[in-house]
Amino acid sequence: MSYAVIWRPEAERQLADLWTAGPDRNAIAAAADEIDVLLARDPTQLGESRSGGRRLLFRGPLTALVDVRPADRVVYVLAIARNAPRKH
């Protein structure tokens, strides 16, 4: 059974800001789409767990902070940020 994925307005604004300012718009859009698909499947097994049912999900250039509500089959995207550049 799938989950409903709901983006909070602040997360939508953050994503729009990253997309507008980013030189890698295609990668940002693809990561956001992948986040939606993965969260709809089973968000309880993704990323890193945090307290209170929250999780961090890393995809492409993005990190999503989500609030998973298994009893309601809903996951809220609370915030989106750009991943820190990796050092080589």
Q: Sorting pLDDT into bands at 50, 70 and 90, what band is 52?
A: confident
CA distance 71 to 9: 23
Q: What is the pLDDT of residue 55?
A: 96
Residues 63-88: pLDDT tens digits? 999 999 999 999 999 999 998 766 65
Contact present, 57 and 64 (Cβ < 8 Å): yes
CA distances from 59 to 1, 14, 34, 72 (A): 23, 15, 7, 25
pTM here is: 0.91
